A = this chain, B = another copy of it.
Amino acid sequence: MKKHNFSAGPCVLPKSVLDKCSKSILEFNKLGLSLIEISHRSKDFIEVMEKARLLTKELLKIPKGYSILFLQGGASLEFLMVPANLLKHKAAYLKTGTWANKAINEAELYGEVNIVGDSSDTNYSYIPKGYHIPKDIDYFHCTSNNTIFGTQIHEFPEVPSLMVCDMSSDIFSREINIDRFDLIYAGAQKNMGPAGTTLVIVKDEILGKTNRKIPTMLDYQTHIKKESMFNTPPVFAVYASMLTLEWLKNKGGIKEIEKINRLKSETLYTEIDRNSLFNGISNIEDRSIMNVTFDTTRKDINIMFDQLCDKAGIYGIKGHRSVGGYRASIYNALSIDSVNHLVEIMQDLEIKMK
């Protein structure tokens, strides 16, 4: 039985992508070779990389002047690459959770960090608002969606300088205006593909201005010049990401997937709010459409809920240890059927408990 996969990442991928990956590992493009055995300098793989770039550009409507990179190291390496490439004196960071904190720690190695908003007082259950961003900063950094806490920025601030955003857990899930951002990065393993590659979208003109000698692999300009092929790229992860973007395009692109994502999250939040056995964890107006955090209102039902979920093939809804409770991650490739299935379990439990 195929599970309903609510895992926070690595996570559910489209069935058609898995089928194609499985076949390409046996033989790719009728070459008599596996996808993972061919040279990354071969025509066949260069086409994959090119296609991944073009699909990203098309889906996100990326204007001229931006480069699209597929790197390694996850968002965690970007936490360091961003300040190495952009931080001259001072940067402003929005402190909205675990990943934002990790980004802040790395930036502090390169300059002054100004925390302009901070929701740690309630264990990051909300997105700070109305904060002031000083004018003399090199850039403002935020996390668009907080995977662990289930909060999401629904309105990005006006920034007097550059805006850098970690979109690891909500990229490709909703329409965004790329023009407003100068650098976006995202680990692939949520909406884009399997673990092993990181997407970076960067405005070319912002680079090369720190006077810092940046190590080759940490310098975005290295990867721009070599079109993400400075060294051997993570072939399989880039290929699977390309297929996932192709799947998204065939689904109707981001406008269409956003509608489905909003329907999925509304369906689940509606049940959480209606059902007497469950409560949402994050602030209602900051609720994420990707990661739905909730808890039970009666601790004595947890074991039964876990058993019902398990029996129904629901996988990966345990909350992160720093929040507790439950978290249903409902990324692009998770179907509304899976959400409806979870809602039924929640309703069944309520009936059983009456």
Residues of A within 8 A of B (CB): 1-3, 5, 7-13, 18-19, 21-23, 25-26, 31-34, 36-40, 72-77, 79-80, 102, 105-106, 109, 187, 189, 194-196, 213, 215-218, 230-237, 240, 313, 315-316
Beta-carbon nearest neighbor of A106 in chain B:
B215
Q: Say what secondary structure dominates the interface of chain A.
A: loop
Cα A105 to Cα B213 in complex, Å, equals 12
Known: A26-B18, A26-B19, A234-B196. A216 touches B76 (CB 8 A): yes
Contact sample, A vs B, 14 pairs, CB 8 Å cutoff: A5-B33, A5-B37, A9-B39, A10-B235, A11-B37, A12-B37, A22-B23, A32-B315, A76-B216, A106-B216, A109-B213, A195-B234, A234-B237, A236-B240
Given contacts A10-B36, A106-B215, A187-B231, 15 further A-B contacts (CB under 8 A): A2-B32, A3-B31, A10-B37, A10-B38, A11-B37, A21-B25, A39-B316, A40-B195, A72-B72, A72-B73, A72-B77, A74-B231, A194-B235, A234-B237, A236-B240
Cα A23 to Cα B31 in complex, Å, equals 20
Task: Judge whether B13 and A36 touch: CB under 8 Å.
Answer: yes
Cα A12 to Cα B38 in complex, Å, equals 8
Q: Identify A313's interface contact among B32, B39, B218, B316, CB under 8 A.
A: B32
Beta-carbon nearest neighbor of A218 in chain B:
B80
Task: Judge whether B5 and A195 touch: CB under 8 Å.
Answer: no
Q: Which of A32, A75, A233 has the most CB of B within 10 A?
A: A32
Known: A36-B10, A235-B196. A217 touches B77 (CB 8 A): yes
Cα A155 to Cα B119 in complex, Å, equals 59
Task: Judge whether A40 and B234 touch: CB under 8 Å.
Answer: no
Cα A95 to Cα B46 in complex, Å, equals 30
Task: Judge whether B26 and A25 touch: CB under 8 Å.
Answer: no
Cα A332 to Cα B316 in complex, Å, equals 38
Expressed in whole angstroms, the minimum distance between the Cβ of A167 and any Cβ of chain B is: 16
Residues of B within 8 A of A232 (CB): 9-10, 74, 187, 189, 195
Cα A232 to Cα B106 in complex, Å, equals 18
Expressed in whole angstroms, the minimum distance between the Cβ of A23 and any Cβ of chain B is: 7
Task: Judge whether A196 and B72 touch: CB under 8 Å.
Answer: yes
Residues of B within 8 A of A77 (CB): 72-73, 217
Residues of B within 8 A of A106 (CB): 215-217
